[in-house]
Structure 1
Amino acid sequence: MSERNEFSAQVLISPEQMKVIAGWEQEFLSIFKQQLQEQMKTNELLTALIQSMSDEQVDDDDDDDDAEPLTYMDGTPINGGG
């Protein structure tokens, strides 16, 4: 028994339907090209964002995330720190 999935089904198009499709083909292509241009802009922006995030430098002293802090967030020294 051979199973037929939805992708192997044939769609019959009448000559009238084909004329309608052909009549709108250029508009579909135009919209598709616009979508591709917008996607390329989005990709460029994402690339720039990722690049700028990777370019951010962290001070060499801050490389050790496990180091005990020397000051509180307001800048007040921690007693016994350092």
Structure 2
Amino acid sequence: MSERNEFSAQVLISPDQMKVIAGREQEFLSIFRQQLQEQLKTNELLTALIQSLSDEQVDDDYAEPLTYMDGTPVNGDG
């Protein structure tokens, strides 16, 4: 199966929307393709983020923290 840059989908368009698009189909499709390309980049970035987060070492949720959120060490004094 060959990879295609074109796509096909059924989209419902109102008569008012069709008036705006009429005669400017190529411009509309060009903008739509640009939006899809940007969405693809976003999806790739999100996928990379999810993969990198899943590769991190999983900490024990019940382990006592060694530092506070500001980075200062926990002394164990309770």
SS of alignment partner, residue 24 of structure 2 = helix
| Larger relative helix fraction | 1
**Which of 1 and 2 has higher RCO (CA within 8 Å, sep 6+)?**
1
Query: Mapping of 1:30-69 within 5 angstroms?
Result: 30-58=30-58, 62-63=59-60, 65-67=61-63, 69=64
Partner of 2:27: 27
Distance 1:70 1:38, change over 3 A: closer
Sort the Cα spacing of 1:78 and 1:40 in 2 relative to 1 into closer, same or farther, 3 A: same
Q: How many residues align?
A: 59
Residue in structure 1 matched with residue 4 of structure 2 by the alignment = none
Q: Which runs of 5+ in 1 are unaligned?
A: 1-6, 12-16
- The structure number with the bigger radius of gyration is 1
Normalized against structure 2, the TM-score is what? 0.55
Could you say if the C-alpha distance between residues 44 and 24 of structure 1 is closer, same or farther in structure 2, counting changes exceeding 3 Å? same
Q: Does the residue aligned with 1:75 lie in a helix, a strand or coil?
A: coil
| Structure 2 residue runs without a partner (length 5+) | 1-11
SS of 1:48 mapped into structure 2: helix
What is the match of residue 14 of structure 1? none
Aligned residue for 1:3?
Answer: none
Q: Give the fraction of aligned pairs with identical amino acids, expressed as a percent.
A: 62
